[in-house]
Chain A
Amino acid sequence: MDLVQQLLYMLQGISTTLLISIFSFLLGLTIGLPLAFIRTYERGFAVFVDAFEKVFRGIPELVLMLLFYRGVGLFLAFPFGDAFFTATFVLGLRSAANQSQIFKGAIRGVGEEQMVAARSLGLSRLQSILRVMIPQVFIFSTPGLGSEYALLVKDSSYAFVIGVPVIMEQADRIRKATYDPVIPYIVAAILYILLTFPLATWLDTWGSRKKKQLGL
């Protein structure tokens, strides 16, 4: 395996890692944000949201991936026969559970008064949530979302066990082909650090700047 080939391998690893992280983050957002509002404003559903969060935060990601890929995939080859899909699906639901918690805290941070103020103007509940709450909730949750994204980048490495060509998998393949046990893993570590570092810090500073600007 020559150097160019190794480089291509790693590039594929980076793009796969990024794709899994981004897709599962978005999946987590589309499920987690509504869940947070539902549990806050429809107390009756809080039990179910809680249960969902407990399950997906309380089982190792690696076990979930094996469960869906090897187990459920036996019966539902579509879509769980696809390793990339399964990894994204599992991490997306795990992220939904985490993001629901993050947004719950942010809703509390924004405060009930904002909701009351919006309703007092005659906005409907949905309008108040969309126009008044959500924009502020995002500002409050930026640090949490930043670290959630970083967590997804790292956890995407578990997809290694079901053969998805993430950075870790590619490093392992290069190690097997070149018999070099040192460089591939060191490179993998550096790549992961580079991928997790900038966005999390950037979001954090953006969030606190915005917060200060708006006096929140």
Chain B
Amino acid sequence: MSFLAENLPLIVDGFILTIEVTLFGIFAGLGLGTILAIGDIYGGKIVSTFIRFYVEFFRGSPIIVQLFISVYVIPAMFQTLIDPIIAGFLVFALNSAAYQKGYIKGAMQAVFEDQMQAGLSVGMSKPQTIVYVILPQALRIVIPAWSNEFCSLTKSTAALSILGIRDLTSAFQSIAIRSFRVLEAWIMCAILYLIWITIMTKIFDIVYEKKKIPGIEISV
């Protein structure tokens, strides 16, 4: 295991980057995804057609393709340079938003029509009803899907290593090459991802249990 100790700083740096990208992706994706969901429900035809194309692109193509488009295609088309790290952060946020929009919209519709009517009937406006009634319910329903999204987002950040960004996978790539202990290196890498994802899934479970309200449950 000594080869691990020698490379600890490399691993820690990689791990931190992986966590940063994932957390940024999931929270920015939640914000943007909520906006997209509301836009899709209320925005009218043009907005929802635009959103459909957006979602189809980000959900229909692999993350690697999206990353390559952001660092090769877009700079070439607009004659600019984009820092691969910034591109990476953005791609994961945009990608996650496309998925989260789906969950949130589904959950909003599940709590939707009757709760909106009830909100209006007590004198609240539509935006007030969304904020105080629809979203608190929808976000609770969405937690399990969110946990899944967190897993798959974490896993897909491994693709950053292809762009030469120093994430966890990339750290072990160099360790494997330098130490000649390829199998051990990759097993170690797999275990670290597994531990991290398991811990986070557990946390999501706890949050779900804590926030659970009788009568608002998901039907899986």
Closest CB of chain A to B80's CB: distance in Å? 13
Complex Cα gap A71–B194 (Å)? 18
Q: How far is the CA of A71 from the CA of B173 in the complex (A)?
A: 11
Report how far A155 CA is from B169 CA in the complex, Å: 16
Instruction: Flag B51-71 by CB within 8 Å of A: 1 or 0 each.
Output: 000001100111111101100
- Nearest-neighbour CB distance to chain A for B120, whole angstroms, equals 31
| A185, B65: Cβ atoms closer than 8 Å | yes
> Which of the four size classes fits the interface of chain B?
35 or more
A-B contact pairs, 10 of them (CB 8 A): A58-B155, A61-B158, A62-B158, A66-B186, A158-B159, A168-B68, A185-B65, A193-B61, A196-B60, A196-B61
- B66 contacts across to A, CB distance below 8 A: 189
- Chain A, residues 39-70, CB within 8 Å of chain B (1/0): the string is 00000000000000011011111111011001
By a CB distance below 8 angstroms, the chain B residues around A150 are 60
Residues of A near B185 (CB, < 8 A) are: 71
Q: Would A160 and B61 count as touching, CB distance under 8 A? A: no
**Given the known A-B contacts A71-B183, A185-B68, A186-B69, are A60 and B61 also in contact in the complex, defined by CB atoms under 8 Å?**
no
B3: chain A residues at CB < 8 Å are none
From residue 5 to 45 of chain B, which have CB atoms closer than 8 A to chain A?
none
Provide the residues of chain B in CB contact with A163, threshold 8 Å: none
| A161 adjacent to chain B (CB < 8 Å) | yes
User: In the complex, A185 Cα to B69 Cα: how many Å?
Assistant: 6
Docked-complex contact A189 and B183, CB < 8 angstroms: no
Chain B contact surface mostly: helix
How close is B207's CB to chain A, nearest CB, in angstroms?
19
Which B residues touch A59, using CB under 8 A?
Answer: 155, 190, 193-194, 197
Does A34 sit at the interface, judged by CB under 8 A? no
Measured CA separation A186–B57 after assembly (Å): 11
Cα–Cα distance between A175 and B69 once the two chains are bound (Å) = 12
Residues of B within 8 A of A58 (CB): 151, 155, 193-194, 197-198, 201
* CB-defined contacts of B154 to chain A, threshold 8 Å: 60
- A contact patch SS: helix
Which chain B residue lies CB-closest to A68? B186
A72 to B187 Cα, complex, angstroms: 10
Would you call A62 and B161 a contact (CB within 8 A)?
Answer: yes
Question: CB-nearest residue of chain B relative to A94?
Answer: B155
Given the known inter-chain contacts A59-B194, A62-B158, A161-B162, please indicate yes or no for A192 contacting B65, CB distance below 8 A: yes
CA distance A160 to B162 in the complex (A): 10
The answer to whether A75 has its CB under 8 Å from any CB of chain B is yes
A188 within 8 A of B: yes
| Chain A residue contacts of B193, Cβ below 8 A | 58-60, 63
Asked if A207 is at the interface (CB within 8 A of a chain B CB), the reply is no
B76 contacts A182, C-beta separation under 8 Å: yes
B64 & A158 in contact (Cβ 8 Å cutoff): yes
The chain A residue sitting closest to B67, CB to CB, is A185
**CB distance B60 to A188 under 8 Å?**
no
Closest CB in chain A relative to B98 CB, distance in Å: 12
Given A160-B64, A189-B57, A193-B60, 16 other A-B residues pairs in contact with their CB atoms under 8 A: A58-B193, A59-B194, A60-B156, A60-B158, A60-B193, A62-B169, A63-B169, A63-B190, A70-B186, A160-B162, A182-B76, A182-B77, A185-B69, A185-B73, A188-B65, A189-B66
Chain A 170-186 residues near chain B, CB threshold 8 A: 171-172, 175, 181-182, 185-186
